[in-house]
Structure 1
């Protein structure tokens, strides 16, 4: 473990940085090295998205290397993020989480597969989460939102993260999977252990992720065994009784696929909703534009996903190559902060501003290429329904005085402590 020392500018006292660093590989140029910790971003107190944009503004090259988090590259350019997503021949999904030591413990499929092996597994997942299937559950999704909001509205206040965001998408997904809601806290604990693993070293973070991965696997295996051969319409039954190239889904792959569905359904939208609503609470003029204009709301949801990307996964360099003038070696890892695509000013003018009528917002919030998020249709529906039903019942709301949301970065960004207040008639 290397140690760095800096000085507090006010007290001149030395600040010791005990974060674990690795030695710079010979092929990494000195001028591309930056201290960027994806799990503890500089400036995150002001906001997760603001922190990444602040780093980007520091005359960053398009591709940089950090000695933190096990040592890896970071794509700091929006189009580069998209390019890497869309080219599995050069950038493999064999390892997608950082640090690499932790990513190697991640065993869920088909996210760790590359085409053509990946393709039939993705098709199977699509059978349970395609647009037609999601439209079938819209009424249940909407009623779940209504029930929660109508319980909250008379209070005149809530912690949006705790009282809505951490409940609504989880209830929806647990119902779709045919799982009891009382199991949700256990599964959420596993999800956090994978997307924001704790530890001071790559090895400690790997142990945290491995334990969470194992927790998912141990939870889903008896459920899979019970639903094999079943005729239910829940998401798990549909997937485990599907076929791969005409053959039954192998047991180990079924465990990985169902665990992946739970991981994706219990963390990503939870946090996106809170980021989205914090912005609206701070910008009542943007909310006013949606009042009585459902068409603008429907079209504007994609703009919200552009603005509030929360995923930063990685790809592994598949072969030695020169990429945008930079030498990369097989096995190198590259972080893809999707936030930097949607907030790239060269891709979207005035990117920090929500423009409901923005034409063709460019982003990779749902990833890209063969691994484009299988749950994107459900995510869009959950965001749309939340806005529609919340604004009907709580048309004006704001952050409580003294509110100071707590932002966290990682594979999936998170925000907590989101107190809202509003007038009650």
Structure 2
């Protein structure tokens, strides 16, 4: 090792560089937050936005008190197919599958440089989600090797055992709060093993993630990102000094074209992995359990024929899209007869894709034998940014359905109570009180 390499690998030098980077990030985040907050609660309608396409819609405030978050999104089908809202910095919203697909599959026109609303509300570039098409592949490959079909198959027995253990811990009680007792435990336990982080950190990580994906405040959103970034700083230094067999070590010590990742790249990748691993599958599990609790005939169909489970997962995903991220218009363009200007933000709610009656016959009818069912939804995204962890997510959902329906075949939402769903960058479910008979 050369003298220069020794200096660069010195842990004290790394600490100084790390905290210098963190300080600059905090200052940048503070400036961005002030700019976002200072812009007022609503943006002025730009001159290129026709008055008839302006709709006052706030995706963080969808009313789901009497129905649910997905019913709230479906109300947008009564609006123009593509409309502009002054909320959250001002942005377009696309509601139809045709246009959602176009936006997500045309990254040269609809750039992923900015995927969070309002624009400038986060202090870091989320990788590989915000990578350009030309650079996306190498970033994705670093993560993908941990969640290949072969790697996921090797995890299957362990996840099944964990699923059974969690269900058995409350089965005899005849009731549970599904989100807290199961949905937030299973995928997070699997994820924390994948990244080798302490299980005791679960609660604070969940708290920061919840704020980051569903906060109504730009300041709270920024602070959640800074909390996570600060937390990750410690683990970056630890895994650089003592690499392990885990995803964080893979990212921290990765090279692309023989060149180590920059600190920005490492933090961007780890932040993306953390938010994705801690929230998305938990949300899907909640919506899946809610649907089966409210639809006993479909539940019985899976009990009678477990071979339908893979198709049932896709059908339930079709009805319950999760992510509502955005894109930035990279060049002046036209979409569905609407002129979009370079720099405009455009939200792409994938929860709308699978329930569009122009793309899916009888979209609100649940059919576990629906043909070509896997292609009928965008729950895991479309195009090059399709979720890299979808194979792992499907395996966890399969373990849940197989083991839960075997042990608790007859369950419903507890009498006098209801599920609580919430809006945000990611659709969520925060309460699901379930009850079942105990023999």
Task: Answer whether TM exceeds 0.5 for this pair.
Answer: yes
1:263-302 mapped onto 2 (5 Å cutoff): 263-302=275-314
Partner of 1:70: 89
1:156-305 mapped onto 2 (5 Å cutoff): 156-199=174-217, 205=218, 207-228=219-240, 230=242, 232-305=244-317
User: CA–CA distance in 2 between the matches of 1:408 and 1:217?
Assistant: 25
Partner of 1:401: 415
Q: Counterpart of 2:352 in 1: which secondary structure?
A: helix
Deviations 1:122-161 (A, max 9, x none): 1212122222222221111111111100111111011111
Q: Counterpart of 1:80 in 2: which secondary structure?
A: helix
Whether 1:27 aligns to 2:60 is: no
Whether 1:81 aligns to 2:93 is: no
Partner of 2:112: 93
CA contact (8 A) 2:64 2:421 kept: no
Deviations 1:206-257 (A, max 9, x none): x222211121111112212222375632222233233212322333311221
CA contact (8 A) 1:97 1:106 kept: no
CA contact (8 A) 1:124 1:243 kept: no
Q: TM-score, with normalisation over the residues of structure 2? A: 0.87
Deviations 1:295-351 (A, max 9, x none): 111232122221211110000000112222111111100111101101112222222
Partner of 2:146: 128
- 1:45 pairs with 66, 74, 78, which one? 66
CA contact (8 A) 2:124 2:264 kept: no
User: CA–CA distance in 2 between the matches of 1:55 and 1:377?
Assistant: 31
User: CA–CA distance in 1 between the matches of 2:270 and 2:186?
Assistant: 20
Richer in helix (by share):
2
1:196: how far off? 1.2
RMSD: 1.6
Deviations 1:154-189 (A, max 9, x none): 110111111111111111111111111110111112
CA contact (8 A) 1:187 1:216 kept: yes
CA contact (8 A) 2:126 2:269 kept: yes
User: CA–CA distance in 2 between the matches of 1:386 and 1:43?
Assistant: 26
Q: Counterpart of 1:34 in 2: which secondary structure?
A: coil
1:24: how far off? 0.6
Q: Counterpart of 1:187 in 2: which secondary structure?
A: helix
1:281-360 mapped onto 2 (5 Å cutoff): 281-360=293-372
Q: Counterpart of 1:228 in 2: which secondary structure?
A: helix
Which consecutive residues of structure 1, in runs of 5 or more, have no partner in the other structure?
A: 1-18, 200-204
1:274: how far off? 0.8
Which consecutive residues of structure 2, in runs of 5 or more, have no partner in the other structure?
A: 1-39
